[in-house]
């Protein structure tokens, strides 16, 4: 979402795509040769099924914390291991945003990061999204931002984003130095998910050396191909996706995209419920 950065990255530009651009998809280029296929099968590399009530498993998860706006003018303060904002209960991970004063902010929430990182694979989460104007949940991926010199040069993969003022439209996006929202060149697509806020749906990306593909419930709606395979002039500016990334789950409040039509003060608390998170390997 926008999209682990620490306080040293406060200079970064806004990482959120704007609503008009987020729905923009690239024209289909010529197919890259020898595309790899990601077949989940039995090749489960990592997962959390959220079977034990209490705080998220500290051996699997860590936190970003703070209330500095996160480069997107967001309104929440991200707390650390605070049960009101994050917990496992009844077999589900709950990330919950509240309207309450906290360290100079009017809202609290959680930004949860996987401790493990991966290069390539299928990354999926089964989730119910929050509802209401001003909510901005995301399931996404970042690398160590020192790689290639910071955001957006290090890359970003957005598995799922949803803004409450545009209900049931889900977005998948990538950001690179050449393709990002600050230039109006980001690559992404959106899809209608009528049950996004009421039922569990599976949000996924398959990331191979050849391309990144976005899915909802096995319906593919986004493809971003590795230009370095077909264009001798392309480099990491177009495709920085060749180093480890970690997973991030969060709910932002307001912000440059989520708050474009204001924040409804009467809808809180709002939660994202996650049934499971699974990472599969990919084979050629």
Q: How confident is the model at residue 149 (pLDDT cuts 50, 70, 90)?
A: confident
Query: In angstroms, what CA-CA distances link 242 with 40, 187, 226?
Result: 20, 18, 10
Domain membership flag for residue 64: yes
| Helical residues (DSSP H) of the chain, grouped into ranges | 19-22, 255-258
pLDDT over 90, % of the chain: 80
Q: Is the pLDDT of residue 83 over 90?
A: yes
Query: In angstroms, what CA-CA distances link 103 with 65, 107, 108, 221?
Result: 12, 10, 9, 40
Strand segments (E) across the chain:
44-48, 61-64, 76-78, 86-89, 92-102, 105-109, 111-114, 121-128, 135-143, 156-161, 169-175, 187-192, 201-207, 211-216, 219-225, 245-253, 270-280
pLDDT at 144: 84
Q: Phi/psi at 180 (nearest 5 deg)?
A: -155, 165
Q: How many independent structural domains does the chain possess?
A: 1
Q: Show which residues are catalytic.
A: 156, 161
Q: Per the structure block, which two tokens stand in for 51?
A: 């079977």
Domain membership flag for residue 269: yes
Measure the CA–CA gap between 67 and 266, rounded to whole angstroms: 21
Q: Is the pLDDT of residue 244 over 80?
A: yes
Domain membership flag for residue 112: yes
Q: Per the structure block, which two tokens stand in for 241?
A: 């996706």
pLDDT at 41: 56
Domain membership flag for residue 231: yes
pLDDT at 125: 98
Q: What is the mean pLDDT of residues 140-157?
A: 91
Note down the domain range covering 191: 50-280
Check which CATH number belongs to the domain holding 202 and give it. 2.60.120.200
Q: How confident is the model at residue 6 (pLDDT cuts 50, 70, 90)?
A: very low
Three-state SS for 102? strand
148 Ramachandran zone, left/alpha/beta (phi>0; psi -120 to 50): left
pLDDT at 115: 98
Domain membership flag for residue 74: yes
Average pLDDT of the chain?
Answer: 88
Query: In angstroms, what CA-CA distances link 111 with 38, 81, 96, 133?
Result: 28, 10, 10, 19
DSSP state string for 220-251: EEEEEE-GGGT-TT--TTT---SS-EEEEEEE
Domain membership flag for residue 41: no
Cut 0.85: pTM above it = yes
Domain membership flag for residue 170: yes
Least confident stretch, 23-32, 133-142, 155-164, 249-258:
23-32
pLDDT at 189: 98
Domain membership flag for residue 36: no
């Amino acid at each position: 979402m926008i999209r682990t950065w620490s306080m040293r990255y406060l200079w970064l530009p806004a990482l959120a795509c704007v609503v008009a651009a987020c729905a923009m998809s690239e024209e289909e280029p010529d197919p890259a040769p020898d595309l790899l296929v990601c077949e989940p099968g039995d090749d489960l590399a990592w997962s959390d099924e959220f079977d034990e009530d209490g705080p998220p498993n500290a051996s699997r998860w860590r936190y970003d914390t703070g209330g500095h706006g996160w480069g997107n003018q967001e309104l929440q303060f991200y707390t650390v291991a605070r049960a009101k904002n994050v917990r496992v209960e009844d077999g589900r991970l709950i990330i919950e945003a509240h309207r309450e004063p906290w360290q100079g902010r009017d809202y609290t929430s959680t930004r949860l990061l996987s401790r493990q990182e991966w290069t390539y694979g299928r990354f999926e989460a089964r989730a119910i999204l929050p509802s209401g104007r001003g909510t901005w949940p995301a399931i996404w991926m970042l690398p160590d931002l020192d790689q290639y010199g910071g955001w957006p040069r290090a890359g970003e993969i957005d598995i799922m984003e949803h803004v409450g003022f545009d209900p049931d439209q889900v977005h998948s996006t990538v950001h690179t130095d050449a393709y990002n929202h600050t230039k109006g060149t980001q690559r992404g697509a959106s899809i209608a998910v009528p049950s996004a806020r009421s039922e569990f749906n599976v949000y996924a990306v398959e990331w191979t050396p050849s391309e990144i593909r976005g899915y909802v419930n096995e319906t593919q709606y986004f493809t971003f191909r590795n230009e370095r395979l077909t264009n001798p002039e392309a480099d990491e500016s177009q495709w920085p996706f060749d180093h480890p990334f970690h997973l991030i789950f969060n709910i932002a409040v307001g912000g440059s995209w989520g708050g474009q039509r204001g924040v409804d003060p009467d809808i809180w608390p709002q939660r994202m419920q996650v049934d499971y998170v699974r990472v599969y390997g990919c084979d050629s």
